[in-house]
Amino acid sequence: MSENDLGFTPSEMMTIAASRALKNDDVCFVGIGAPSAACNVARLTHAPDITLIYESGTIGTAPDVLPLSIGDGELCETAVTTVAVPEMFRYWLQGGRITIGFLGAAQLDKFGNINTTIIGDYAHPKTRLPGGGGAPEIATSSREVYITMAQSKRGMVEKIDFFTSFGHGEGGDHRKRLGIDTAGPTLLITDLAVWKPDPVTKEFTVVSLHPGVTREKVQATCGWEAIFAEALDETPAPTELELKTLRDLQARTKTAHASAAKGKAAQ
């Protein structure tokens, strides 16, 4: 993705906008990839005391570089404590201690339902994706769910092929009807916009466009008919500090993950 004339890329804007949504006192269950970058930028800028939890059991982790996997050693080395996986899911997630579950998505619909399981039919899939991992219960046991992904017609679809993680189902009070008493997806941050669910229908609505982004561009990269809030904001551009923090983090990450490869080549 190329830098626009504003001096940052859509991907950087996405990560930084996502990082701003996190508060200093949040306890955040972090999905790998884009959520992980956003959570660590938050920790390195306005939310130094945020508790970041990865499903490998690391609680209160503060990695210097972004982990390649959810179980990288640095997560454990910098954590307040590391617990076993059943404890992670039983006491900490099911126990109701997570304020924000931060997820990415392969396929997303307008009600925040996520598919990371299959493309096509479950029994005879066209593409077998990795599956849910921790996400099905992160989506229902975290007090709120934030989702972040780059927009595309392939990713943001009218109908997902499989309900890996339940968002608002068919909308309205569908969560409540299934006995789910947590708020579910309350925020979607893409590379183009910030979306929030309508209070009644629960359909994602664009509430803020990132700098330089038009409604047409949002619609052209979204598989459902996008709804825009009447009072549409412009997302504040990344500050110098936010950009520097993100870029430094990514540079450190790149160097760290390349070093093993170099060592191998030198053998």
Partner 1 sequence: MVKFLPLKKAVAENLHDGDTVAFEGFTHLIPTAAAHEAIRQSIRELTLIRMTPDLIYDQMIGMGMAKKIVFSYLGNPGVGLLRRVRDAIENGFPRPIEVEEHSHAGMANAYEAGAAGLPCAVFRGYRGAGLATVNPNIKSVSCPFTGEVLAAVPAIRPDVTFIHAQKADRKGNVLVEGIIGIQKEAVLAAKRAVVTVEEVVDNFNDLHPNLTVLPNWTIAAISVVPGGSHPSYTHGYYDRDNSAYLEWDEIAADRDRFQAWMQKNVIESSADDFAARVEHLRKAA
Residue by residue, DSSP assigns 66-91 as --SSTT-HHHHHTSSEE--HHHIIII
- Residue 67 near partner 1 by CB under 8 A: yes
35/7 Cα distance (integer angstroms): 22
Among 60, 71, 172, 236, interactor with partner 1 by CB under 8 A: 71
- Tell me the residue ranges of DSSP E strands in 161-263: 185-189, 193-197, 204-209, 227-234
Among 73, 153, 173, 234, interactor with partner 1 by CB under 8 A: 73
Among 2, 5, 179, 231, interactor with partner 1 by CB under 8 A: 179
Among 75, 108, 213, 218, interactor with partner 1 by CB under 8 A: 75
Give 215: exposed, middle or buried? Use CB within 10 Å, 0-12, 13-18, 19+: middle
Rounded to whole angstroms, what are the CA distances from 44 to 103, 145, 247? 20, 21, 12
Neighbours of 60 (CB within 10 A): 15
- Residue 176 near partner 1 by CB under 8 A: no
89/55 Cα distance (integer angstroms): 8
Residues 86 to 125 in contact with partner 1, rule: CB under 8 A:
86, 88-90, 93-94, 117, 122-123, 125
- Residue 142 near partner 1 by CB under 8 A: no
Element (H, E) at 102: strand 100-103
- Residue 260 near partner 1 by CB under 8 A: yes
- Residue 69 near partner 1 by CB under 8 A: yes
- Residue 57 near partner 1 by CB under 8 A: yes
Active site residue 55: yes
Among 15, 45, 58, 107, interactor with partner 1 by CB under 8 A: 58
Q: Which residue in the block uniquely carries the two structure tokens 């993680």?
A: 165
3-state helix, strand, coil in the chain (%, to 5): 30, 20, 50
Q: Cα-flanking dihedrals φ and ψ of residue 126, to 5°?
A: -75, -45
CB of 67 to partner 1, least distance (A): 7
Among 19, 45, 142, 164, interactor with partner 1 by CB under 8 A: 164
- Residue 133 near partner 1 by CB under 8 A: yes
CB of 29 to partner 1, least distance (A): 11
- 3-state SS class at 248: helix
Residues 184 to 243 in contact with partner 1, rule: CB under 8 A:
none
- Residue 169 near partner 1 by CB under 8 A: yes
Q: Cα-flanking dihedrals φ and ψ of residue 131, to 5°?
A: 100, -170
Residues annotated as part of the active site: 55
- The residues that touch partner 1, with contacts defined as CB under 8 A, are 32, 55-58, 67-73, 75-76, 82, 84-86, 88-90, 93-94, 117, 122-123, 125-137, 140-141, 162-166, 169, 174-175, 178-180, 257-258, 260-261, 263-264, 266-267
